[in-house]
Amino acid sequence: MQKNREQWNSKIGFILAAAGSAIGLGNIWKFPYIAGEYGGASFIFIYLICIAIIGLPVLIAEILIGRTTHRNPVGAFKALSQSKFWIGVGGMGVVSGFLILSFYAVIAGWAIGYILEAVVGNFAHFNTGSLAAEHFTDLVSDVPWILGYFTLFMILTMLFVYLGIQKGIERGSKIMMPILLVLLVILMVRGITLEGADKGLEFLLYPDWSKINAQAILVALGHAFFTLSLGMGAMLTYGSYMSKKDSVLSAALQIIILDTVIALIAGVAIFTSVFAVGLDPSAGPGLIFHTIPAVFAKMPGGYFFSILFFILLSIAALTSAISLLEVVVAYFVDDLGWNRKKATIVMGFVVFLLGLPSALSFNVLADYTLFGKNFFDLVDFLASNIFLPLGGFLIAIFVGYVWGFDKVLTNLREGAEDLFDNNPFIITTWKFFLKYLSPILIFIVLLHSLGVIDLIFN
């Protein structure tokens, strides 16, 4: 099996695919509203620090495990440790792939559905945010609507994974990522050229330190994790198709820069527009589906820009979903000897079945809750707030303490000899962050998710 394992055709192919995984709903939907809610520039500042001290070190660690072993998360830990515990950590990554994709694809389905809403001109009469919100509620209560777009999105995701690393994922990313960037820049230019855009820029860029509290810092830490697709082996799996000739360090840095720049541009595009038309910026999670359609209704050229916006959102979600399914498929291909096509179809279908109760959580199953959460929220919470930080914490511990740091350094040096031999400082810093800062901070995020921190402070 190892002999014929695929590789990326080029380094840029890998960077774009990994950036595609990182850049997703997290950047375009979540980042702008949390930045807005927690004090704009001050939050962005804290977020950048989180990216640097936990995002970058863990991203390097994940890609490195993948590139060293050329395996999926389970196979990778098997190759490096043999211990059941660590293989279990890889297994948790594969399970997270199933779980996250199952609800992520539901929201992504709305994004696709909204392209059509935009095309048929349904946003035109939304002169208030509440009309747009009502329309959203109507749509998600409509079972055929929600299931139809969820299914369509899953089929699209499966198509790229089915076609394989070079022909599917790499080629798709090379086409979709530049389109995403161009669309986003167009929307940003539209935003900043609107009258009153400066108020949006001020909201996003004026630091309000009074809003920075423990909660804001924890949100920034947690988001740094989700936005970089860390903690479940997506970057590990993409790294496993990387050639040893390419530098893990420079790849990780480029992925992080792309992800961060895109989140910032999305923030500018969204807030300049929201403020220019005088809508409420702190609409929270509903910002994209409640507020944005009303923003376009009021904006000159809004018909056209609304279509671009939802195409952008769908592409961002698709390239992330592909990486989630790839983790699952890689496991069945590497470790159980399935062929890629069969693994994609069967596992895509399993994810689809798992996603059904999530899709139905907005309508027929809305009243079924556990701990006050419906099925959708439960799966999201379990995967994003527990499994990802737990996985990231354990990956940092594994690379920092278990693998053997000499071996780690020898592997890391491959493909980055120049940088490595001439900048010992970079390596020492990475080691320090990975061994000490990252695990502690990630652990705190985990305690926060579990409610332990709130218990202590209240």
Site string for ligand PHE, 65-104 (x = CB under 6 A): -----------------------------------x----
Choose between 129 and 267: whose C-beta lies nearer to ligand PHE.
Answer: 267
Q: How far is the CB of 73 from ligand PHE (least distance, A)?
A: 12
List the end-to-end C-alpha distance of the chain, in Å, as a whole number.
54
CB of 245 to ligand PHE, least distance (A): 26
Residues binding ligand PHE: what is the number (CB under 6 A)?
15
Assign 3-class secondary structure to the chain.
CCCCCCCCCCHHHHHHHHHHHHCCHHHHHHHHHHHHHCCCHHHHHHHHHHHHHHHHHHHHHHHHHHHHHCCCHHHHHHHHCCCHHHHHHHHHHHHHHHHHHHHHHHHHHHHHHHHHHHHCCCCCCCCCHHHHHHHHHHHHHCHHHHHHHHHHHHHHHHHHHHHCHHHHHHHHHHHHHHHHHHHHHHHHHHHHCCCCHHHHHHHHHCCCHHHCCHHHHHHHHHHHHHHCCCCCCHHHHHHCCCCCCCCHHHHHHHHHHHHHHHHHHHHHHHHHHHHHCCCCCCCHHHHCCCHHHHHHHHCCCHHHHHHHHHHHHHHHHHHHHHHHHHHHHHHHHHCCCCCHHHHHHHHHHHHHHHHHHHHHCCCCCCCCCECCECHHHHHHHHHHHHHHHHHHHHHHHHHHHHCCHHHHHHHHHCCCHHHHHHCHHHHHHHHHHHHHHHHHHHHHHHHHHCCHHHHHHC
Binding of ligand PHE at residue 22 (CB under 6 A)? Answer: yes
Residue 57 binds ligand PHE, judged by CB under 6 A? no
**Candidates 60-68, 211-219, 228-236, 334-342; binding stretch for ligand PHE (CB under 6 A):** 228-236
DSSP 334-348: HTT---HHHHHHHHH
Site map 188..227 versus ligand PHE, x via CB under 6 A: --------------------------------------xx
Residue 385 near ligand PHE by CB under 6 A: no
Residue nearer to ligand PHE on the CB measure, 392 or 439: 392
- Cα–Cα distance, 351 to 361 (Å, whole number): 16
Task: Output 118 or 266, the one with its CB closest to ligand PHE.
Answer: 266
| Residue 113 or 233 having the CB closest to ligand PHE | 233
Closest separation between CB of residue 427 and ligand PHE, Å? 27
Is 320 a binding residue for ligand PHE by CB under 6 A? The answer is: yes
Q: Does 391 bind ligand PHE (CB under 6 A)?
A: no
260 binds ligand PHE (CB under 6 A): no
- Beta partners for residue 373, in sequence order: 370
Of 158-166, 188-196, 317-325, 356-364, which segment contacts ligand PHE by CB under 6 A? 317-325
Shortest reach from residue 92's CB to ligand PHE, in Å: 13
Q: Is 24 in the site for ligand PHE (CB under 6 A)?
A: yes
Tell me if 111 contacts ligand PHE by CB under 6 A.
Answer: no
**Residue 157 near ligand PHE by CB under 6 A:** no
20 or 302: CB nearest ligand PHE = 20
Cβ proximity to ligand PHE: between 320 and 344 the closer is: 320
In DSSP terms, 371 is beta-bridged to none
Which range, of 24-32, 74-82, 188-196, 272-280, touches ligand PHE by CB under 6 A? Answer: 24-32
Of 25, 169, 217, 242, the residue at the interface with ligand PHE (CB under 6 A) is 25
- CB-nearer residue toward ligand PHE: 21 or 344: 21
Q: How far is the CB of 343 from ligand PHE (least distance, A)?
A: 18
Which positions lie near ligand PHE, rule CB under 6 A? 21-22, 24-27, 100, 226-227, 229, 232, 234, 320, 323-324
